Amino acid sequence: MHIVLATCEVVPFAKTGGLADVCAALPRALSELGHQVAIFMPAFRSALQSGQPLEELGVELAIPIANKTVHGTLLRSRLPESDVPVYLVRQDHYYDRPGLYQENGVDYQDNCERFVFFCRAVMEAARKLRLSVDILHANDWQTGLLPAYLQIEYRSVPPWEHAGAVFTIHNLAYQGRFWHWDMVLTGLDWKYFNWQQMEFYGQLNLMKTGIVFADTITTVSPRYAQEIQSEPLGCGLSEVLKHRRDVLVGILNGVDYRVWDPATDPHLPAHYSAEDLSGKRQCKRALQRELGLPEAELPLVGMIGRLTEQKGFDLAAQVIPHWAQAARTQWAILGTGEAKYHELLQQLARRFPQQLAVRLEFSEPLAHRIEAGADLFLMPSRFEPSGLNQLYSLRYGTIPVVHATGGLADTITEATPQTLLDGTGNGFRFEEYTPQTLTAALERALAWYRDRGSWTRLVQNAMRQDWSWTRSAARYVQVYQETLRRVRQNLETSTAGSES
């Protein structure tokens, strides 16, 4: 199958979160299964500065945006360790900026225009490059217009005539909502600006557009696929999603073990595996030293993530003083995001310097070292579409403590003597979202931690579980095939209809 995958984030070109990991690992896995994937992304500054080889293709793109024509070009690179081409849509005025979507917490005010340009550029670029396309796979709101352009404007334009559109929701909380006049930028007729298609309470909604026009919608865990069909996790779109539930599928994200494996990870000071855990101890000591924490025998809790309301840092901040005062734990926290969480965490770090180390930055190497050096990994997310960090933690023998929501609920099974025996037990979870239930889950984890024999078995259990992309990629292939079958059947029916 020929797949065009459009996204804003791909490791190592541009990353703010899990989307970037997924959009690198899935194409690699699909390519290994024998499919031809071409990735399209904007040539963001971080991509231009990524150090990856970039070839100027000499393809001129002239894109209509409202009543002007905006020009762009195409660069080509390759996904490391694969044959997968990465086409970067270059338009320096739009994309050569410090952030991908925002700066200092404020969204770029021309975001709608930037991503209208990107979507139109993808449609045009595939035509100019004469790619073959069976499936157009769009990801999140920035690419939500792609399914609409396919269905409305490109059905008779090669190479798009027989393509099916798959739209993946990685996080429904970010919808790309803009004032209604931005509809003019899209170049689509105002007739589509209605409550059943692109309009949402008077605004243009690009996430909704993707959901409405795609042939198939996927999201990144089965549980999240259910959760978004009602409020509050439907974020206002639950009815739209319910309406499309026949073509809504949840597929769990996987892990790229070439990047996330403590036996080979180049960011770690020592390596280890389930068979020989001695290196993990060295990683813990080195992490304590790196972060300026005492090299004590205390359990070390790691947290990494975007500092937004979603990730539950405020809940964690409510329980940390309890644990820090009793001097029963150490904490290693890495994140960037909203100023209020920066302040909250800095205050805690000042109050408990022996217990708490906070790094307010984006650092891939430190993320790896926290995964390896911590004993426990806390993810108290209010909601979590899939979550990757808990899966990385499992492979690094760092036992997750999670709020049982979305992908966290789908992947983490409470450790009990029984689940340890049957191989499923891999962490600790709390159902209700309160400081008390979180504290209780941490208490259970620490009780296990003190029993060194059981703890080692739990760690080994976690490390041996397989959450690789192989299974998830095969599921995407099934979904692509099913989409194509449906689309081609519909196209045949409509051609037969118009001929008779």
Contact residues for 228 (Cβ-Cβ < 8 A; gap 6+)? 169, 172, 219, 234, 235, 237, 238, 241
Instruction: Map residues 364-383 to x or -, x wherever contact with ligand ADP holds by CB under 6 A.
Output: x--x----------------
For ligand ADP, which is the closer residue by CB, 312 or 425? 312
Q: Does 101 bind ligand ADP (CB under 6 A)?
A: no
From the list 47, 75, 334, 358, which residue makes contact with ligand ADP (rule: CB under 6 A)?
Answer: 334
How many residues are there in the chain? 500
In the complex, the smallest distance separating the C-beta of residue 21 from ligand ADP, rounded to whole angstroms, is: 5
Q: Which residue stretch of 37-45, 78-86, 187-195, 333-341 sits at the interface with ligand ADP (rule: CB under 6 A)?
A: 333-341
Told to check if 363 binds ligand ADP by CB under 6 A, we report: yes
Contact 278, 272 (CB under 8 A): yes
Stretch that binds ligand ADP, among 16-24, 244-252, 263-271, 273-281 (CB under 6 A): 16-24
21 binds ligand ADP (CB under 6 A): yes
- With b for 16 or more beta-carbon neighbours within 10 A and e for fewer, the 179-194 pattern comes to eeebbebbbbeeebbe
Q: Is 336 in the site for ligand ADP (CB under 6 A)?
A: yes
Q: Does 389 bind ligand ADP (CB under 6 A)?
A: yes
Q: List residues bridging with 107 in a β-sheet.
A: 102
Binding string to ligand ADP for residues 202 to 241, with x set by CB under 6 A, is what? ----------------------------------------
Q: In the set 1, 12, 17, 247, which binds ligand ADP (CB under 6 A)?
A: 17
- Report the residue number whose CB is nearest to ligand ADP: 18
Amino acid at 263: A
One of 74, 304, 415, 442 touching ligand ADP (CB under 6 A):
304
Closest contact distance (angstroms) between CB of 437 and ligand ADP is 21
Name beta bridge partners: 337: 307
Q: How far is CA 148 from CA 215, 217, 291, in A?
A: 10, 13, 49
Nearer to ligand ADP, 58 or 105 (CB): 105
Beta strand 216-219 with 164-169: parallel, antiparallel or unpaired? parallel
3 strand-pairing partners: 37, 135
Counting residues that bind ligand ADP (by CB under 6 A) gives: 19
CA distance 458 to 443: 16
Question: Which lies closer to ligand ADP via its Cβ, residue 73 or residue 171?
Answer: 171
Nearer to ligand ADP, 367 or 463 (CB): 367
H or E segment to which residue 418 belongs: helix 417-422
Q: Whole-number minimum distance, CB 364 to ligand ADP, in Å?
A: 5
Q: How far is the CB of 396 from ligand ADP (least distance, A)?
A: 11
DSSP 130: T
> Does residue 386 belong to the site contacting ligand ADP (CB under 6 A)?
yes
* Minimum CB–partner distance for residue 363 and ligand ADP (Å): 5
**Alpha-carbon span 407 to 405, nearest angstrom:** 6
Q: Compare residues 182 and 256 and give the one whose CB is closer to ligand ADP.
A: 256
> How far apart are the C-alpha atoms of 353 and 350, rounded to whole Å?
6
Residue 24 vs 446, nearer CB to ligand ADP = 24
The smaller minimum CB distance to ligand ADP, of residues 101 and 362, is found at 362
Strand partners, 403: 430
153-192 residues near ligand ADP, rule: CB under 6 A:
171
The nearer residue to ligand ADP, 121 or 349, going by C-beta atoms, is 349
108-114: long-range contacts at Cβ-Cβ below 8 A with a sequence spacing of 24 or more? 111/176, 111/178, 112/176, 112/178, 112/182, 112/185, 112/204, 112/206, 113/65, 113/182, 113/185, 114/42
Which of these, 146, 117, 122, lies nearest to 211 by C-alpha position? 146
Q: Which residues, other chains included, contact 264 with Cβ-Cβ below 8 Å and sequence gap of 6+?
A: 258, 271
Q: Which of 29, 163, 188, 388 binds ligand ADP (CB under 6 A)?
A: 388
Residue among 6, 18, 116, 448 that touches ligand ADP (CB under 6 A)? 18
* Closest distance of CB 391 from ligand ADP, Å: 8
> Residue 409, Cβ neighbours under 10 Å: how many?
20
Q: Which residues here bind ligand ADP, judged by CB under 6 A?
A: 17-19, 21, 171, 304-306, 334-336, 362-364, 367, 386-389
